[in-house]
Amino acid sequence: MTLFQFYFFEFSAIYILIGWAVYLMFRINQPYFGSLYSMCIGAYFAAYSAINWGWPVWLVLMGAVVVSMLFSLIPAFRLARLGPFPMVIASMAILFIIQTAAKNIDILGGNYGLFGMPFIPYHILLLITYGFLLFIGYLVYHLDQSHIGRAMDAIHFNRDMAATLGVNASSLSVQFQVISSAIGGLAGVLYAYTMGGVFPGAFSLSFMLHAITIVVLGGMFTMWGVIISAPVLWSIGHFLPENMTGLSVIVYGILLIVMLLIRPSGIIDRRLTKNISELRRAIFKTFSRHT
């Protein structure tokens, strides 16, 4: 496996995880990007604990996920009451404050960050990453299909009506903020091990644009869209010539705008998944009749 292929598979999986974390909150109409700052926290925790304390991978993973979840709980109850606008701004504010803190705290390496994490062979890291990807995918899928998924839909389309029907939107928001942050923290650890470390510049506003583009391009109303958009977007950034690397942000921006204008529901929307499942059922029925 070449280094390029490794990075492609690894970053595709990491961005799918981040896409799912953002998607869960979009489902309840709260564009919360806490998973992004949790990714930053997870990555820094992983780098610091692996380099300075010599923690093994499994302990780093557990520690980073727990720390990310605990950190997300601090503002969660207040954030749960906010509407979409303030939610976006509040998430950005927290991301920016954490980034500034990381830049200015000496033990976190300042602008240069923390590097020198223990090397994990590529195939093992891919195995760990895709194991978690399947596990999280399974959880998100079952969450979508359960009564919680229906409650999420109700909140998305009419929060007041959902409350009348007994859905506690604030409580659900807190729970999803924590789950979303745990996924973010996990993605941060995988990111840190892939890069061999972490630096604050990786979690800038353009990173947030990347995450938004993944979800908007893939589709905000199903979990399947990000599986297509995450690898496609990563590839766009890496197939551009070296002297045009700045163009990737412009391409993301244009894709985002064009997609919102022509197909606001994204590449894969609910109608498409319904048609695909009906088609699959029809093919299966025809096939079983012939056999």
Partner 1 sequence: MEAFISYLISGIQLGVLYGIVTIGFNLLILVTGILNFAYSNLLVLSMYAGWVILGATDSIMIAAIGTVLSGVLINAVLTPLFLPFIKKHMHLEALVISIGISLISVEIMSHWLNLGLPIAFPRSIQMSDSAIRFGLASIGIGKLITLLLGILLLFVFFQFLYKTKRGRILRAVTQDSEVAEMLGISIPKTMFFSFALGGLLAGIVAILMAVSLGSASSELGDNITLMCLAILFLAGIGNLKGGLICAIFVGTVEGMVMGYLPGDWTKAFAFSVILAVLLFKPEGIFGTQH
Among 57, 249, 272, 273, binds partner 1 (CB under 8 A): 249
| Rounded CA separation 21/278 (Å) | 28
Q: Given the DSSP bridges, would you call strands 197-198 and 114-115 parallel, antiparallel or unpaired? A: antiparallel
| Rounded CA separation 120/58 (Å) | 12
Using the rule CB under 8 A, is 73 a contact of partner 1?
Answer: no
Residue 121 belongs to what H/E stretch?
Answer: none
Q: Sign (positive/negative) of CA torsion 253, 259, 264, 267?
A: negative
Using the rule CB under 8 A, is 120 a contact of partner 1?
Answer: no
Residues linked to residue 114 through DSSP beta bridges, in sequence order: 198
Distance in Å, CB of 182 to partner 1, minimum: 21
- Segment contacting partner 1 by CB under 8 A, of 94-102, 122-130, 226-234, 266-274: 94-102
| Rounded CA separation 42/27 (Å) | 24
Distance in Å, CB of 234 to partner 1, minimum: 17
Distance in Å, CB of 3 to partner 1, minimum: 26
**Residues touching partner 1: how many (CB under 8 A)?**
40
Would you state the structure tokens that stand for residue 83, as one six-digit string?
């509407």
Interface residues with partner 1 (CB under 8 A)?
A: 29, 31, 75, 78-79, 81-82, 84-86, 88-90, 92-94, 96-97, 100-101, 103-104, 205-206, 208-209, 212, 216, 246-247, 249-250, 252-254, 256-257, 260-261, 264
